[in-house]
A and B are shown apart, each in its own frame.
Chain A
Amino acid sequence: MTRAAPAVHVVDDDADFRTALARMLCASGFEVLSYSSGGDFLARGTHGCGCVVADLRMPQIDGLALQQACTRAGLTMPFVFLTGDADVPSAVSALKHGAVDFLDKRAPREALLGAIRAALERDLQARSMRSRQEQLHRRFAALSEREHEVLAQVVQGRMNKQIAADLAIHERTVKLHRTSITGKLGVRSVAELTTLVRESQLPG
């Protein structure tokens, strides 16, 4: 988890266009980082956060290949593609792999900025979801093995007496475990506990 500010990562082999785009985005208030090729981006840009604005047609690693390389590397930054001559198959492929948008290089500024904002927003949401998951995992990790066993039974709606019989412990011990669990997880009711457990089981 990196603490860097969200940035627009511009990847384009054409220096003139790259500079112009970076300049415009900077002036529009974005944090911008530029890369002259897909390789350059993979070498130094993958630890950042924000979104990627990439040229579709580039030598060696083209836009689609870069997007797929990022997916393989577990990098979830959303992509916005720019192209000089859009063709339908590439557009379909890009959008299937989760690209936010697919724009002409000379698309209106508002369309481009809209796509970039949407991409940044998507990245922000994805990251906040990921960080909540991580936080939950940390909290659950604080529970002891016995507490996990008790928790599993509690969320199934079983009574203390039944849990005590199952685990061959005293009912009072069960109560103690429950107090400890709610304390560690910072919840007040069984309902809240159940919600939390379900949330932690979501794919992160």
Chain B
Amino acid sequence: MVNLGNDEIVKYPFLAEAGKYLSDKGFSLDQFGTDPDLRKIVDSAFERITIASEGRIFKPDLSSDNSSLPLEIFSFLIAVILLKLSGMNTLIRRFSLAEARRAEKFLEKDLINNQDAMKAKLSLQILHELFSVTVQRVDQEFRILVRDYLKHSINFHEREWKLINRKVIDGKVHLTPHETVRLVRKELDRHIYTKINSSSSPEMIPGFENYVDKLKQLAKKFEVRTVESTEYPPCIKHAIEVLEKGENLPHSGRFLLATFLLNKGQTVEQIAPLFKNAPDYNPKVTIYQLNQLSGKSGTTEYKCPSCEKVEGQDLCFRASTCGTIINPLQFGRKRV
């Protein structure tokens, strides 16, 4: 595993073993609840969470003297404890993402650190050990095996991350330092989130109650309520129209229509009659296929394809009513 010095743990605090780190430094959790001198650390931890919940990145003060180093690390570790005590998943999600973005900035800086070879090496090591990405540096450019690149990039919806929009030479994707680090943001986020979630939940620490109550209040702000219209998106309307006219809807169109309706909660029996006008209609085959898609016959429940996929199959009839949806299932969904 990666060997970390104090200044590395400040940048990547999620790599530290929380309990061990605190006890190594001679502290117990209870002390943070009772010792007035340690209160500023708990305040800082609380602030770290609230800043993260607003989508901003916590900026540590690295310019001050060395005594500030444990404060930054402690504030992360205590923030994790506060989050666990609050049990507010929405805050843990927001915190993980903000911490991932914070670490991303350091990772990027370290990757191109020409002065300190150790820092550059460590950042490559983090990418390799945490995310199984082997990065080769050539001047200011970073090269990643296409296979490794795809493993991460398929999680992105932005077109710039498609392989076709990358410089690909001899089995490697060429990336800037920023892109290299951005590539693993989701995994970094997931890594932090999993680490927080899998850590054991402590008993309430005397002195933390107030912070935890405030976090519970804070989480309420982020509850999202949505309403959904019953109208179908244009691609689905088109597919139904084609079938109603008795024209041939390609396999991909039938897949789209069936998975959309299944995902919306309709039953195989409700959907099957839609296909009765298809030129090659066979009721037995239709029911068999729908059962397969619904997961009734197999173990896989097929998901409605993304808008990008639908577009690639020439089945997209995007209208202004679609807005910025990335999956037909999101059509007509509004936050209230």
Tell me if chain B binds chain A: no
A residues engaging B (CB < 8 A)?
A: none
